[in-house]
Each structure stands twice: as structure tokens, then as C-alpha cells.
Structure 1
């Protein structure tokens, strides 16, 4: 597990992976900027509909607050969905460099299959988190219970997403052992809650998943 993480950071020196990282970061930032502008216009319309006076300050502040909150809650959805678009480029680069024997037999999914997997990924994370909402609310009084539940549920989902990327290409040979998959999902989910670090996590997690799948992932 540790070796896979170290190798994932090393992958950033590969020009192909670095190029994907730039694309993912830029698209993620642009997506949230668009969401922010959309929220501002929506709130302006809402204030006008309610006949509330606003010179743009309150709608701007409220948009920023909502965007920050949604960034914490939805960043994982947006970042992973965008990463799905480029995941095969990351996998190609890592496999060609470290596991050419696997690269030779892997079958890259077509665009349609990739989009379907991305949609299923988004549906899972939204659906399971909505189902877990009563649990999150119930655990609020514990102080940290909600955060722990959120991390565990989303770690399981992220680990599955990362494994699915590889199974789509290699079948059962792309599977990752359960404990390393959970730990990778947990580290990835936690990392996505840290500003700036969260921009790197989707690409690093994808690269680490390749190493876990191909390097005999029975140890930590």
C-alpha cells in the first residue's frame, strides 16, 4: 500500500500523467466557478421573486457560502466524474511504464462504456449519501460520528470506483484486495476534504489503484 502511494506520486513526473492532472484541475476549477456564477444568478432571481432588496452583496455572500459547503460535499462527485474522462490515459501511462505485460493485454473501454460507468459512479455516491443522511444527522450529537460515517461510506464508494476503472480494462485481474481498496478509498476521501490537496487526489488515487491491482496487493 505504501509502495503504491509512493509510486503514484512518482507518476506525476510522467508528462502524460502531469498533462492529465492539469486537465482535471482546470476542469474541476472551471466547473465550480460555473456553479458559483449559476448560484449567484439563481439567488438574484430568488431575491427579486421574493421582492427582497439586494444590491448583489448578500446574494454574492450566500453564493460563496453555498459553494464552499457544496465544495466539501460534492467535490468528490465532480472530481471523480471528471477523472473518469481521463482515467484511461492515467492507466495507460502507469501500465506502460511499470507493467507493460498488463498493458499489452488490457482492453481500453470505449467512450460509451466510460460514460456509463461515470454515471453509475455519480448515482452511487449521491444515492448512498442521501440514504445515509438520517445517520449523519443522528450522529451529529457525537461530535465526530458524522465525519467518521461520511468517511467510511465514501471510502467504500471511492475504492469501488477505482477498482471498476481497472476491472473494465482487465476483468477479474484488475481487482484490488478489500483492505488495500478500503484504505485507498479512505485516504482519497480524506484527501478530497483538504483544500488544494483535493485537486491532486483523483489522479494520485487512480495511479495508486493501478499499482495495487498489478503489484500483488496483499500487504500494506
Structure 2
């Protein structure tokens, strides 16, 4: 029987903790700032394009101006939809230790004593690898999604499957890296449970408002899955 539902329930139950609320607020603020900055940068870039001589010669102002607005809106919305998961999770990587530590302190005090917090350089490296994985695998999935475009639901299912695998790995690695003692690839959470957790987090990210705290819920739930396994292994030994 999967322990994912219980882990997610416990994660929601810890939203009242000050440390978790603080991380959620910081990660949401930074994520929104990243997209706001990108949107502003895109707007100024398109404005420079509109004011160029060749663009003015190609399209009259009555068409070029509205076209720029449409392009900006389309690129901004599509970019947000495609990149939100990757950006939100990458941002959370820099605060993940705080979420994991909060779960450890409340539910696994014995393991909290043996945890090894990640230095900033390691957090940057982990976040960078995670971002590249997410962007890379989603780009690889694009051709298959395009082939299934006629099915209407096919592309959504393709990206859900890809992101379920990626999110499940990232959300459990956040805790595992604090306890792995160098065995980074020996994540104790079974692949099926990781994929199920990733699917839950990916689904939450599609829901307005809920999507903003989904990475924090995923990190807390992933911590429960990892530390539960470590607790069971310690008890068996």
C-alpha cells in the first residue's frame, strides 16, 4: 500500500508551522519575481523590436503595436504554463533545507540529529541539475506531445507523466541528500511511490493558488517518505 496519501496529508498539516509558512512565502515571492522580471524584460525587448526600422517597414504601426501586445501576452502565458514547475522547484531548492528540517524536528527528532545540511554551493549545484533535467526532459517530450495533439488530452498526459517522474525525484532528494552520506543515487523511496508523489504535486501545480504552495507540500511529503524508510531500516537493524 502506498504511503503517499499519508505523507501528503501530514505535509498539509504542517502548513501551520512558522518555518514552513516562511519558506512558502519566500519561494512564492521569488518565483513570482522571476516571472515578473522575465515578463518586463520580454516587453522591453519587443518594444525595441517594434521601434526598429525594419519592423516599421514590415508592418505599419496600426498593426505592429497590437501584434506586439498579442505576442507578449501569448509568450508570457505559455512560458508561465511551461516553466512554472521548473522555476518553482528550482527556487524551492534554495530553501528546501528549512522545510526538511521542520519536518525532521516535528516528526523525526532522532534523524534530525544526524542530518547534514547542504552548503550553499551544493544547493546551487543540485538546483542547477534539477532545472536542467526538468527543461531537458520536457523538451524531449515535446515531439511525442505534438504527435498526440489530435487527441486533445494526449499532450497533457505526456507532460504529466514526465513531470511526475521528475518531481517525485526532486521532492524526495531534498531530504535524502541530507542523510545519504554520499550515496546520492540510493534514494530509499521506491520508484512507484516517487512517481505517485510527483503526479500529485504536478496535479496541484495546475490548480490556481494551490499550485503556489505545491512545491513546499511536495518537499514536506517527500521528506516523510524518505525518513519513514530510514526509520523502518533503523528499526529492522
- TM-score under structure 2 length normalisation: 0.86
Aligned residues of 1:176 and 1:212 also touching (Cα < 8 A)? yes
Say which of 122, 129, 132 aligns to 2:138.
Answer: 129
Q: Determine which structure has more spread, i.e. the larger CA radius of gyration.
A: 2
Between 162-171 and 79-88, report the one with greater CA deviation.
162-171
Aligned residues of 1:163 and 1:175 also touching (Cα < 8 A)? no
**CA separation in 1, counterparts of 2:97 and 2:36?**
26
- TM-score under structure 1 length normalisation: 0.92
Show CA shifts across 1:81-111 (max 9, x none).
1000100011011101110111111111111
Aligned residues of 2:188 and 2:229 also touching (Cα < 8 A)? no
Aligned to 2:197: 184
Aligned to 2:221: 208
Aligned to 1:114: 123
Q: Which runs of 5+ in 1 are unaligned?
A: none
Aligned to 2:235: none
Q: Segments of 4+ in structure 1 off by > 4 A?
A: 54-58
Say which of 8, 16, 19 aligns to 2:22.
Answer: 19
Show CA shifts across 1:122-180 (max 9, x none).
11111111112111111111221111111001110111111221221111686322222
Q: Is 1:74 the equivalent of 2:74?
A: no
Over the aligned positions, Cα root-mean-square deviation in angstroms equals: 1.9
Tell me: CA distance 1:166–1:175, structure 2 relative to 1, closer, same or farther (3 Å). Answer: farther
Q: Which runs of 5+ in 2 are unaligned?
A: 233-237
Aligned to 2:8: 5
